[in-house]
Every structure is written in C-alpha cells, then in structure tokens.
Structure 1
C-alpha cells in the first residue's frame, strides 16, 4: 500500500531564513521525512534581513528539506527573482515560477500562482492576470480522461486570498483566485501576506461539467514566520495523492462543513462567462518553457514535470511569434505551413504546423481541415515520386500547438509500419485502436489528449491511454532496428544540427517539393 506523502507549507518568511530552516529541520527530524516544503507569501525581506541567506548560498549552512517558493507580491521584490539559473536560488531552495502545476515524485499535484491580481491585462512581474489563472486551470484539467471524472488537485498555493472569505479583514482578496479555486477544486488551499493565521471549516465545491463529484476544499491562511503572537506559520500535511486516493475518502462528508464561499459570486469582469467550466473547450497544455530541475537531498537532480502556459507570443510554432525559427520554414499556406523538424531523423523529416494557435487537429474548422488534407496529399505525391511512403503522426499531449510529424520510408518497408507501432505500444503497455482513413476532424476525440498515426495503407492508429505516454513514441517506432535502424536518434535533442545544415536541408526539400507545392498556385 502506498505511503502518504508528507508536505510542509510555510507562510510569509520576510527574510527570517535562519528561523525558518531551523524550524523545518526540527519538524523534519521529529515527524518527517517531508518530501517538500512550500513557502507562500513574501519570502524575502529588507536587504539587511536577506543577508541571512548568504550562508546557505555559500554552503556553510544547509537546507534539509527541498524548499520551493512563490514569486514576488510587490514591485520592490522583483529584483530578487532576476537572473535565477533554472529558478535555483541555492541548493534545495528553488523559485517555482509565476504559475503552473508541479507533480511530486509521490504523485501529489501542487497548483500554484504567484503574486497579486493585476488591475488590468498588463501585469508586472509581481502580478497575475486572467490569462495566468486560465493557464493554471487548463494545466490541472489536462489529467482528465473523460468529461466528468476530474478529482481535483491536492494543493493550491497562492499568496493572495480568494474573495469570499473574511472580506472585512482582507480587502485585497482576489475574485480570480476564487474562480481558480472553484474550477480546479484543490483539497487544500494555502495563502498568506495578510499576517493572519486562519483555517475555516471545509467546504464542498458543487459538481459541474468537469466532475460528477462534490469535492471538498480546506482553506488555510498562515501567519508570518516568527510572528510576535506565535500564530501558526507552518503546516504539515500527510496525504495520499488525489489520483491514488479512494473515491469514498474524497467525497465523504464531515459534520463541520460550511457552504462553499464562491457560490453566488459574480465573476463577470474577472472571468468572462465563456471562459468558465460552463464551456467545454478545454486546452490540454503543458509548456516546456518552465521545465526546470529540482535538487534533492543528496544534490541529485530530478527532472520537473513540464508546465504548460498558453501564451501565443511565446509559442515556438505560431507564425506571429518571435520564437519561430524562420530559417526552418519550407513553404507557407493560408492556414498551415511546412517546416524542417528540429533535430530531424533525416533530411526528409518535416512538420506540418498550423499558422495560428490551434491545440490539436480535433479542434480544426472545416476550412482548416481542408487545407491540412491538401498538404498531406501533396506530400504523399512527393514521396511517391521518390519511391517512398509517408506516415503522419500527432501527439496531443504535453504540447500546446498542433504539430504533425511527417516521416517517410522506402516503399518496401510499408508493410512493417503498423506492426512496429503495435509492438512498441505493447512494450509501453497501451493499446492502439485501428480506425478507417482519417477523413474528418469529427473522427478524433472531441476532448482530452490522444496520439494518432496515419499509415501508408490509409488506416489510422489511435490511443487515448496517455498516462505515462512516452514523449518520443513515434521516433521510437521509426528509429527501431526493423525500420530506420537509428536508435541513437530517438531523442531530438541528440540530433540537433548546425544552422547551416538546417538551411541546406530546407533548401533541398523546398526544391524537390516545388512541383507539388500548391501554395505557389496563386503566384
């Protein structure tokens, strides 16, 4: 039976680092080991107070429990979060980031949102906006496997309070945080920054389109570390991850519950109506932009899970984004374009990408689908002229933008491809369903992550079993010994080319594809 995960949560530190880490060490010795310590509220204090951290940065003193902090809550503190190397402040002390979902090795899911609510859409480093809140919500909903089975997350960390609790004492509460809490349904919600230690009775968030269960939330505000009144500033949790917990434990009611404080709140102005759970268009997005690493107790590094932010300006693939590597582009249509894959398996390994921010093929319009189909048919004809067959794959999981991988093989290998996919799926313990030719977006899952492969025989392989899905699955298949026989190229990061090589690959492909390129028809 899986043991419960042990977590510590601490309120405003405000430069009292020695007191904090001594207290955490004592609690860890007595009741640990704790997997993580999370700090909400203001972590840094006045400049002279922050000098206590120097001994930890220099290695003269040690932090015994991996500690993660939220970002600044006022403009003056922004300076402390500049130029951090992967968020690391020192050994075992890490800045989580502005927003996201952090999954511990135990399986515990921690959603977090740094800062205070901005007055408008233009936020400073110490503020969050509607877009930040929506991004956290969408990242939490990524784990849903069907429309009504969402179980919530284990912990929500914010510095600012949600609106609806003790408004008289807390005039700076945020309706955006109330909305976020209602949508993602955390088992525990921790806050700080107003100096109050407060724990209200548990309340139950009503079921909605994301879940058929009425899930319970416990709200806890923590006081400052070392406060004069000795109010509670550290909280210990021992819990089984929500995905491993018995459903009965999640829905069982207690005698001291109160009504949900967010029922009846008007979110107009904070969140537009079509941005709530009343709308069934969810994004299943996790951004690699904040893919940092955390340092464990022995100094060993573990990879953090990817955290998705839905920010078109920073998307690697939106043509309007500055992040697009323009030299990789082969040809551009009205709604799609072709580009050389980054870290390609060979010179014919390309991508079909939507010009605008579309998360997956299932959400394409009829016009978009029509142009996508034209690109596929053009590529089939091109590769046929080379004596090759082509396979198209899409992984709608841990990605925010529609990306279709295009890989070709010698015609004689065509009969092996389906068997190779099925064998590799069996190796990774999931099943692929065989579908007829993919003729419409309506054939794809309307909601939720999926993987598909369109084969040379016009059949389609599809799976929705995406828990622990291997990120390089398609490359695993094609690089296997019975196909391209290049296992060393499974990871694209191991196949990166110099820019000059990439430019040459693009020029060569563009020249060969020119007779089949319909985007030039109107020139």
Structure 2
C-alpha cells in the first residue's frame, strides 16, 4: 500500500511557519510522515534572540508538530538546548518530532526503509566512525558502514553524490555549488534507493530519474533512483522547498528502463569492488542446531533477518561500533564481545586480543560469494591475520603464536574468523593440534585433515577449520587443519572457543555471554589494541 510522504529542505529556525503549513497540507493529504532533510535550526553564529526563543518554544511543546516528522543532521550545529533534550529523551525534541540520526538505517511502521548520512565529510575523521551523534560532520567510515544497509527506499544525505549531474539536461544555476562526495555516490550505487533527497541552498534541483543496470541481484529488473535537492524555506526566488509524493515499498522495479530516464551517471569509487549482493540472514553469535540440506550454497537465502538486523553487519544500527578496530575494502576487524581471554591472560599485551575478522558481505560462507568478491575478501582476511601476527611478534617477541578458526556452515548467516594469541609452547609442543583433535574425538566428530582449503570454493559442504601460526615461521605461513561436517553431525558453533578455553585454562569463560564487560572496559581494550596495532593496520595507509 502506498504511503503519502512530504519532504522539506532547510527550515533554518522557521518552525512555526513550516509546521503550520504542514498542518494545513496534512489535513487534506493525511501524510504518513514528514522528512526535514536540511537544517531544522538556524546556524548559532547568525541566530537571533527570536530564534533562541523559538527553539525553547519548540522544546517546550508550544509549537505544534502536527504528525510524525523526522529531521536530519544538516550543516548547522545543533543548539545546546536541543542536544540536551535529545540526550535525555531518546532523540525526541517534542511530540512528533524525532532526530533521524547522523548515520541511520531505519524502517518506518509503513515498511519504508530510510538510510541517512547527515552532516559534511570531515577528512580528519580517519580512525573509524565518528562517535559523536550531533556535530555536523561524518567520516568516510560512516559512509562505508552504510554500504551494508542492503537497500533503501529513501536515502537522505547532507551532500550530493559525485557525478550526479552527468547525463542530465536539467538546468541548475545555484548561488553556490553543492559539495559532492564519492562516498555518497557509492551509497547510491550499492543501495539503489528509490528516492535520494538532499538540499542546495536557495535552489531546487530535480534530476531526471536514473536507472541501475539490471543484474542477477536485481532479478533482471531496472531499479530507478530519483535524486531531488530541495531549496530552503523562504528562499528569495520562491524555488521549491517542499516535495510531496507517494511510495509503496512493496512495488516491484520496472522491467525496462522508464521513459525519460537516463543510465546511472555514478561510478563506484573503489573500482576493485562491485556492489555486493547482500542476502538475508540471522544472528551469528548464537549457537543454534537447526540444520539445512548440506548442498551447494551459492545464491541461497539464509534465515529471516536482513543484513541491517544481523549483529555482524555494520549496517545494523545497533551494532557495537565502539568495538570495531579496522575497516578494509572487503572485510573489517572487531574485538570480540565477551572475549575469551582477559586483559591479564597475555601479560606482554595487556589486553584480551580476541579478534573477529568479518567479511563486509552478508553471506554464510566465503564459498558462497561471487568469484571476484570471494578472492578479494579472502585475501584481505588473510592480510588481517598476517598483520595481527606481525603485531604479536613486535609486542611479544617469540612468546606468542596465534590460532584462527572458522565455522563454515550454510545454516549460519554471516561467516567470520576468530583470532586468538596462544603461548608459543602450546604450539611447538603440538598441544593446540592435539586439543582440537581430542575434543573432536570426544564429541564423535569427523577426523581433522591437515589441508588448506583456501577460500572454500571447492568445498561442497560445511566444515570447521583452524589455522595455526608458529612465531618461528614467517607471519603469512599457516598450518591448516580441516574437519568436514555432514548433516548427521550436531556440530556446535562454539567448538573452537571451547578448545582454546581448555588450553588456556579459562574453562569458566567458554560461554561468551558470561564474559560481559562494561562499555568503558570494552573501549579501553579497543584503545589499547589500536595503539599496538596502529603500525600494522594496512587500512590506514
């Protein structure tokens, strides 16, 4: 069912007039919700006592907001009173008025999926995602995280996508050219939103619709994006500052390129990586024993949850981004929630060093990825592993080796590796190898084979593998053991953790749920790890 939506450009503090206009329109149209995609508040440097009084009236509920309205983060800083209100009221300024967030993936009650990236790009934010919600700036990592949102009905950004005016015949003569960014063009290419809204000062711009090339991902259809940039309310040329339309999120993409549309003017900034074909999935950390037929896995859907709901997908707005330590082109690394070791387990390190190496693409196995993505992802995951080995050697000398393990199961939603240091004598005495084999035998699992299966493409079924590094060897070398699992095996996903817990005499920490930390402790562990890993983090080059 189609919903009526109204979108507004910069309000710049004119709350009473704009909301009065919305109330009149709502009485006739019954909108589902409104989106303010520019600056709701006037810039503090130019605000008047009247502006400040209006802000207080808004916060106190004296200005009527007639129906659900979401406002984006524009280029103006928020008034301090607004920040205090948002912090104390779960992002609600007053009845019906909600902050959309700086980096947001959300679905409305009508089923409309909104992705938003507010503010302006700050190239100085290089150490990861921007942590502060309210300053009007974002980093490249914020944009990269939103790549995982799988799709969008509406994309809202404070800046334009680079190249958006190519192939367009629409006249545009702004007072000042809007800033454009490659990372926003990437979002258009990957998310393929039906509508993309932004702002452009006192000038309105609506580009011809552009279509994305049909592919297996789009079922051979032509997704169409409409890019619309609204003028500010009260602009002197009376250009369009408000835009109303209807949207049915269940409607199909067209089977041919629509009349009057152009091909996409945008190009992916990272030419090595194509737009990922994200598929459905579920939680990764939980150990459930449901089985699926053990057949070739490429192209299959996996579970009821989308990437935006998966706790290993960066698109999930609830993901613990403070645990993320590094984001590459195809994979990222994060410290484990509920780590097996403590900060005291490895004295020369001083932090747990239990890391997860996770593909950005939302699939159950490496082998189920398309060839180009599979090669690139596996290569980068190995690069993370060897970089970690280099860090261990630098900090601990020859005292620590490493163990990396993977559960490759078609019934799991999002594949990943887990990485852990181990004392070198456990490796060189053969105790790591023996421990994996012994617990496997006790559980009546199939035998391990000493074999390297690479990116897993040739494997036709589920498997568990462990990669062992001895510090006497080059950092890239590994010894690989593989256990192939068929449908008759009730394999539990915490097998690798259980083996290492017994080896490290941490039996009471087998279950990660029992190893919780405060956020302050987690952030301290991350900071300590980043300081040690900084020299070896290839993504910072």
Aligned residues of 2:211 and 2:264 also touching (Cα < 8 A): yes
TM-score, normalised to structure 2, is 0.53
Distance 1:287 1:279 in 2: 15
Residue 371 (structure 1) aligned to one of 403, 427, 430? 403
Does 2:54 align with 1:52? yes
Aligned residues of 1:6 and 1:32 also touching (Cα < 8 A): yes
Aligned to 2:94: 90
CA drift at 1:156: 0.9
Residue 324 (structure 2) aligned to one of 301, 312, 315? 312
Pairing 1:153-232 to 2, within 5 Å after superposition: 153-163=152-162, 164-165=164-165, 169=174, 171-176=177-182, 177-207=184-214, 210-211=217-218, 212-232=220-240
Aligned to 2:25: 27
Pairing 1:497-508 to 2, within 5 Å after superposition: none
CA drift at 1:31: 0.5
Name stretches of at least 5 consecutive residues in structure 2 with no aligned partner: 166-170, 281-305, 328-332, 367-377, 386-401, 420-442, 444-460, 468-484, 494-512, 522-541
SS of match in other structure, 2:20: helix
Distance 2:319 2:517 in 1: 28
Aligned length: 363
SS of match in other structure, 2:262: coil
CA drift at 1:30: 0.6
Distance 1:72 1:173 in 2: 13
Deviates more, 1:272-281 or 1:214-223: 272-281
Aligned residues of 2:114 and 2:153 also touching (Cα < 8 A): yes
Aligned to 1:118: 122
Aligned residues of 2:3 and 2:31 also touching (Cα < 8 A): no
Aligned residues of 2:279 and 2:307 also touching (Cα < 8 A): no
Aligned to 2:67: 65
1:172–1:33 Cα change, 3 Å: closer
Supply the RMSD in Å over aligned alpha carbons. Answer: 5.3
Distance 2:113 2:58 in 1: 28
CA drift at 1:333: 12
1:408-462 Cα shifts (integer Å, max 9, x gaps): xxxxxx9xxxxxxxxxxxxxxxxxxxx7664589xxxxxxxxxxxx999733499
Distance 2:217 2:205 in 1: 29
1:78–1:33 Cα change, 3 Å: closer
Pairing 1:57-456 to 2, within 5 Å after superposition: 57-74=59-76, 76-77=77-78, 79=80, 82-83=83-84, 84-85=86-87, 86-122=90-126, 125-137=135-147, 139-141=148-150, 152-163=151-162, 164-165=164-165, 169=174, 171-176=177-182, 177-207=184-214, 210-211=217-218, 212-241=220-249, 244-247=250-253, 250-262=254-266, 271-277=269-275, 284=307, 306=318, 312-313=324-325, 318-319=334-335, 354=355, 362=366, 371=403, 396=413, 438=464
Distance 1:456 1:186 in 2: 40
SS of match in other structure, 1:56: helix
Name stretches of at least 5 consecutive residues in structure 1 with no aligned partner: 142-151, 292-303, 340-352, 377-391, 404-413, 415-434, 442-453, 463-491, 503-523
